[in-house]
């Protein structure tokens, strides 16, 4: 026969097993969690995605939080009656062919933020791709842009090339620009060339002390440049 202690242990074990069974049935499969997307009521909302690098994340030089060009651009568009729900995936040091601070390339970022109902997908950058073999670069840019096309077949694509803050652009960056232009046009994307348009050239007050990244004023400048490019490609107005 079992002693008093043994009986107590058996009863406790039975209680634990029964409790675990009941709890497991009640919480057998947790509900999946989707990334948060800002939503408004009504039909005037434009869904879009942005894929970029540290020119969009902001840095210690400027452009953090509400001072990023994306945040400023959405406020500009909202004042003009263009409301957006934007998913932004940007990673410092990332490019089409170079992995960023958290191990992502633009294709990875694309997969995180592009949705079937997007009206526009924006790619911006990247000067970080210096050092990537040209043939490899052509392949990865093509694959990235085509993946966005597959994920959001009705979306327009806007590809903004790499910027450079001075007039003396390295030849390798010009070569990257030319390859990206070719691949963007091949998939029917709109193309904007900050090098040809001389973004930041002659405006050192817009670049931080590192000589590379835009400061807060530089992000406001980017918003003024990019907001109209986005707004003209969105169809829904208040």
> Which residue numbers are catalytic?
54, 210, 213
Residue 45, φ and ψ in degrees, nearest 5: -100, 135
Please give the structure tokens belonging to residue 140: 């990865």
Give the C-alpha separation, 187 to 181, whole Å: 10
Spatial contact of 233 and 50, defined as CB atoms under 8 Å apart: no
**Residue given tokens 């933020």 in the structure block:** 113
Give the C-alpha separation, 207 to 197, whole Å: 17
Of the candidates 113, 128, 120, 114, the residue with the CA atom closest to the CA atom of residue 54? 128
3-state helix, strand and coil shares in percent for the chain, rounded to the nearest 5: 45, 15, 40
Give the C-alpha separation, 52 to 5, whole Å: 66
Helix axes 134-151, 171-186, angle to 10 degrees: 40
Q: How far is CA 103 from CA 50, 106, 108, in A?
A: 18, 10, 9
């Amino acid at each position: 026969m079992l002693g008093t202690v043994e009986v107590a242990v058996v009863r406790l074990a039975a209680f634990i097993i029964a409790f675990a069974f009941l709890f497991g049935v009640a919480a057998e499969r947790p509900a999946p969690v989707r990334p948060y997307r800002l939503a408004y009521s009504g039909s005037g909302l434009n869904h879009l995605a942005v894929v970029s690098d540290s020119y969009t994340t902001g840095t210690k030089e400027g452009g953090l939080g509400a001072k990023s060009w994306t945040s400023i651009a959405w406020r500009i568009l909202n004042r003009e009656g263009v409301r957006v729900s934007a998913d932004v995936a940007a990673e410092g040091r990332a490019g089409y062919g170079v992995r960023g601070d958290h191990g992502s390339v633009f294709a990875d970022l694309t997969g995180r933020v592009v949705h079937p109902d997007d009206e526009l997908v924006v790619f911006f950058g990247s000067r970080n791709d210096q050092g990537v073999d040209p043939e490899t670069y052509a392949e990865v840019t093509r694959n990235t842009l085509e993946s966005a096309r597959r994920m959001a077949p009705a979306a327009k694509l806007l590809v903004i090339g790499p910027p450079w803050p001075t007039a003396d652009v390295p030849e390798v960056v010009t070569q990257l620009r030319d390859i990206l232009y070719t691949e963007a046009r091949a998939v029917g994307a709109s193309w904007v060339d900050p090098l040809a348009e001389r973004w930041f050239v002659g405006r050192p007050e817009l670049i931080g002390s590192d000589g590379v990244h835009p400061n807060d004023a530089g992000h406001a400048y980017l918003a003024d440049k990019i907001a109209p490019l986005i707004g003209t490609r969105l169809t829904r107005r208040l």
